[in-house]
Structure 1
Amino acid sequence: MRPLRFILSALAALGLVGCGEDQNSTSDGTPKVVTTIAMIGDVAREIGGEHVSVESLIGEGVDPHLYKPSSPDLKKLQAADLIFYNGLMLEGKMTDTMVRFARSGKPVHAVTETILGDSNYVMSDEADHFDPHVWMDVSGWIKAAGEIELALSELAPQHAADFKTNHDHYVAELGKLDEYARTSLGSIPEGQRVLITAHDAFGYMARAYGLEVRGIQGISTESEAGLKDINDLVNFIIERKIPAVFVESSIPRKSVEALVEGTRSRGHDVSIGGELFSDAMGTTGTYEGTYIGMIDHNVTTITRALGGTAPEKGMNGKLN
């Protein structure tokens, strides 16, 4: 599965991607930015500040792997001055839509453009499908923030200095988050640093912060978990004496609950250590509804459930 940037490059070579001149800014002249997922939207909002209006299509509790744009979504994309998407096939069912808007001349940017250039960074599964969950490694999302700053500066060059200032301030905060994740997850006893979740969304986090990760489903939730997958993980949990497994906010709990029932039926008491945010953030307007709050919640929840040391209210004392 090729990332969308290769499709767009092919279209450009054929002269199918134009340089659109129509502007769809708000009535006060503020450019409209539309993003696919909220994790991108939150960063765009932090960097864009008062100079842009940002809206995300896919909200809390929604699985982007299976998401199909609605008619209102298409209208929002049409009205946008700039579109941001993940770029590693996260929005698989929206690819044709992105191509169509790029073909019309709409600025469409993948926030993983720089990451894609580093063949040693991007992860994939056995079928060579890209793992799109880059935001789980804060250092990877810092690179995405750089892509967002560049695109916003191209859109509104008169505000480039402010975008740079906002970017630098935000990246400094992300640096603190990265260190918190490293310290907290590193406090988990070595034999217990095993993260078991509903689907394989935490590979980048595992690689960055020294965890072993297992998902019931694969990188995409389009792949169904079978009885053998459940049984294999039950055996693994019992063999490794794993104390906790985790549900995800955007995926039904039934597969994880099946793991718990399977292990308990064989005499091993494993608990559900909490709900993690994987493909969607928390509720809009809450701390967990920001990228920093999302990662803070995940790190704190995982650390405490697996026997590590982390403050109950997280890095900034703001967790619900």
Structure 2
Amino acid sequence: MTTGARSGLDDTAAAPGPAAPDGPAGPQSDVPPGLDPTTTEVQPLEIVVVTGLSGAGKLSAGRVLEDLGWFVVDNLPPALLQPMVELGARGDIRRFAAVVDVRSRAFSSDLQEAIRVLADAGNRPRVIYVHARDDVLVRRYESVRREHPLQGNGTLIDGISEERALLTGIAGEADLWVDTSDLNVHQLRATLENAFAREGGTPPLTATVMSFGFKYGLPLDADLVVDARFLPNPHWIPELRPKTGKDADVSDYVLGQPDAREFLDRYTDVLRLLIPGYRREGKRYLTLAVGCTGGKHRSVAIAEEFARRLTAEGLTAAARHRDLGRE
């Protein structure tokens, strides 16, 4: 169990070590048995591996999962992932999450092999990759005055760059990317709750529709990007300028444009084509990013409408507005 409350996403100050949730102590034997995928006595576990860049918020993500009822272990070496899962399988743990950090140059291959072994044993491992922009990571480290674990005799940015290189392999295989550069702890919680909170009823594909402003940069964790700047901008209408795309009159203005409905209908048809393919390939999370100039009017209204349409298609979909309120 993670302990103590922190106000931000910074996980640079955390010390390594396992954490156990409050409640029953769990299995007591020091020698766990092998996990036999053919036996009917032990059901496969739901397993989530949280990894990513130091300082990006891995421990914050772990705390959210813990609040959602997962058994969470912090800073677990990849070599100990399978023994911990086997130990948990002997007790009443059905949802296990591990926060895995970079501790050796063999980290990526070790973790990938551990995940493969767990999958071969009949479990359902999923990987969350938590990351942030370099400037954000530097600011977080400087605020707590700590060195990066891979910094050595070099600079802070040297350590960040080396860690990014070590994480390349596992990042490419992650089920869910979470970019915390512009998230607060509440937005991080909402993102993970959207993906994991629906116990027993999680659909095969969960969608997040994110509005953003192009002037603040493209979202790094988007699977699909839509540009809404072809629509007239409510910013130039005095009575609409102070409002947002969540207000009814702004939404009506944006969605009432002659090209808006046709665009939404045609892109919804594209999504209908993509969704079955994503499901066949085992993709669990989809992030559709909708951009306009500032992320205040057009992108917000279009994102809300896409979320409504995806919900109607049978997905669990939620709209999130990255840059709303930044102006």
Fold match, TM over 0.5? no
TM-score (norm 1): 0.27
TM-score (norm 2): 0.27
Higher helix share: 1
Find the structure with the greater CA-based Rg: 2
